[in-house]
Amino acid sequence: MNPEKMTILTVDDTPANIRLLTHYLEKQKYNVITAEDGFEGFKAAIQYHPDLILLDVMMPGTDGYEVCELLKAEEETKDIPVMFLTAKTAVEDKIRGFELGAVDYITKPFNLVEIATRVQNQLSRKVFELQNKRYQQILERTVHLSSIGKVGAVLSESLLERLKFCQDQLNIPNVDISQIQSIIDGLYQSVTQYHTYTNTENPIRKSVKLRDLIDEVINEMDDLTKGSAKYSFHALEDEPFIVVGDPGELYLTIYNLLFNAYESSPGGFDIIIEVKQSMPSKDLLKQQKTDPASSYLAITVTDGRMYDPKDSEIQEGLFIPSDDSELSLRYSAVYSIIHDHEGFFSIEKADSSGRLISIYLPN
């Protein structure tokens, strides 16, 4: 867990407490945002999606308990861990806090070292839970795709057998057309069932925090490459970058982009990942038959591979790889996922050298 990539929201109506906590937590390399009343704290949680909230209970107006209830009632914030900081020491107060969904309860006057330890424990737990959820989603997708492959193999074999039978029958004088028609009806039913299975009407769609997703992939790539690749993440606006989509598929998309950049770049090449608000080009927008979204998040990755104009051919709504290499196949998968999310995918020549790979997701 890298503290520099973790954000903590501190909500307390006592400025001295905020200054003390902020100073100490920033020394531990955490990003800290603050609010001096309950309602401002709730708005900050909605806006910044912090990794942890330190919440004072006794505040004028909207108190900590009410703020916690509001946070747990919102889809965007319900999973953010909340730690109560309070002078209340009664057992019933602690029980109420835990019943509202708090993960910890620290009484004042607090010890800074104790708070730092508990903060680290809760953030580590959150990271493990996110990783476990991500791997579970990827596993479910992998099993689903594997099942589709098995069904497809069985279907292909069945199709070949039945078509061969039809072909053989057509070579026989006075063939029974009704029997061939029955076989064709069976083939149509099989293909229809396969199409239904592979085209779910209820895809997974939920809020996804892109910066967390990119951090996870970069950490995995660092482990995979043993530090031989250099990744630089640049966010041009200080925002959480929320999109709605399938977390597992978007994770695989970012992974494919970074893994391809790693394989395409000479040793020591600095792979740059940028996220910013940006509209796709007019040429890209023409690819989509429906009306475009009002705004998009652009994720761009720069690598060191020589640009080939054929790298990003789109024909009749399909991405056509320039060759049959694994790189092209991964990009084809990226295109398919992004297209399914009503976004866009492009490969262009970078300003300096190499290529600029971009995906655009509506937000």
pLDDT at site 360 = 93
3-state secondary structure of 210: helix
Q: Are 312 and 288 in a shared domain?
A: yes
* Domain range for 311: 206-362
Cβ burial of 70 (10 Å; 0-12, 13-18, 19+) is middle
Residues 6+ apart with CB under 8 A from 70: 42, 62
Show which of 153, 174, 198 is a domain's final residue. Answer: 198
Question: Mean pLDDT for the chain?
Answer: 76
- Output the CA–CA distances (angstroms, integers) from residue 239 to 7, 190, 198, 242, 255, in the order listed: 12, 48, 36, 8, 22
220 located within any domain: yes
Q: Are residues 28 and 96 in the same domain?
A: yes
Distance CA 254, CA 343 (A): 14
* Mean predicted confidence (pLDDT) in 231-258: 76
Percent of the chain with pLDDT over 90: 9
Closest CA to 17 of 44, 47, 48, 57: 57
61 pLDDT more than 90: no
Rounded average pLDDT over 200-218: 76
The segment with the largest mean pLDDT, out of 53-67, 162-176, 315-329, is 53-67
Is the pLDDT at 217 greater than 70? The verdict is yes
User: The domain that contains 333 carries what CATH number?
Assistant: 3.30.565.10
Q: What is the pLDDT of residue 207?
A: 84
Q: Which two tokens stand for residue 81?
A: 């861990």
Whether 52 and 177 map to the same domain: the answer is no
Q: Quick check: 32 and 10 in contact, CB under 8 A?
A: yes
Q: Is residue 125 one of the residues assigned to a domain?
A: no
Say yes or no to pLDDT of 186 above 80.
no
In the prediction, which pLDDT does 53 show?
Answer: 93
Q: What's the rounded Cα separation, in Å, for the pair 115 and 109?
A: 11
Q: Please, which pLDDT band fits residue 82 given cuts at 50, 70 and 90?
A: very high
Q: How far apart are CA 11 and CA 33, in angstroms?
A: 9
β-bridge partners, 339: none
The string of pLDDT tens digits covering residues 271-324 is 778 888 889 888 888 777 678 888 899 998 887 777 776 665 655 445 555 554
Question: From CA 34, how far away is CA 40, in angstroms rounded?
Answer: 9
For residue 197, pLDDT beyond 50: no
Is the pLDDT reported for residue 246 higher than 60? yes
**Statement: residue 196 has pLDDT above 60:** no
Q: Which tops the pLDDT comparison, 233 or 41?
A: 41
Does any domain span residue 175?
Answer: yes
Residue 208's SS3 state is strand
Comparing 25-29, 175-179, 306-310, 344-348, the range with the smallest average pLDDT is 175-179
Q: Are residues 223 and 354 in the same domain?
A: yes
Does 216 lie in the same domain as 357? yes
Q: Which amino acid is residue 26, in one-letter code?
A: E
**Residues 244, 208: contact at Cβ < 8 Å?**
yes
Q: Could you give phi then psi for residue 229, rounded to 5 degrees?
A: -110, 145
Mean pLDDT of 133-159: 55
CB 64 within 8 A of CB 86: yes
The answer to whether residue 137 is domain-embedded is: yes
270 vs 143, more confident = 270
| Whether the Cβ atoms of residue 336 and residue 350 lie closer than 8 Å to each other | no
Among 75-84, 100-109, 205-214, 244-253, the range with the most confident prediction by mean pLDDT is 75-84
Q: Which of 198, 215, 234 is the last residue of a domain?
A: 198
Task: Indicate whether 118 belongs to any domain.
Answer: no
* 8 A C-beta contact, residue 42 and residue 70: yes
Identify whether residues 290 and 340 lie together within a single domain.
yes
pLDDT (average), residues 348-359:
81
- Looking at residue 235, its pLDDT comes to 54
- Residues 24 and 67 occupy one common structural domain: yes
Same domain for 164 and 306? no
The predicted pLDDT at position 317 comes to 47
Taking CA atoms, 146 is separated from 143, 152, 159, 165, 249, in Å, by 5, 10, 20, 29, 15
Assess whether pLDDT exceeds 90 at residue 179. Answer: no
Inside any domain, residue 116: no
Residue 189 CB partners (closer than 8 Å, separation 6+)? none
Residue 123 domain flag: no
Q: Total domain count for the chain?
A: 3
148, 167, 198 - which closes a domain:
198
Token readout for 42 is 């709730």
C-alpha–C-alpha distance, residues 293 and 342, integer Å:
9
Cβ pair 85, 54 in contact under 8 A: yes
Q: Is residue 144 part of a domain?
A: yes
User: Beta 104-107 vs 52-56: how paired, if at all?
Assistant: unpaired
pLDDT at res. 111: 83
Assess contact for 180 and 166: CB atoms under 8 A: yes
HSE, CB side, 13 Å, CA atoms: give it for residue 131. 12
**Do residues 258 and 339 share a domain?**
yes
Summarize pLDDT for 109-132 with one digit per residue, the tens. 778 888 888 888 888 887 777 666
CA distance 21 to 341: 41
Burial tier of 209 (Cβ tally within 10 Å: 0-12, 13-18, 19+):
middle
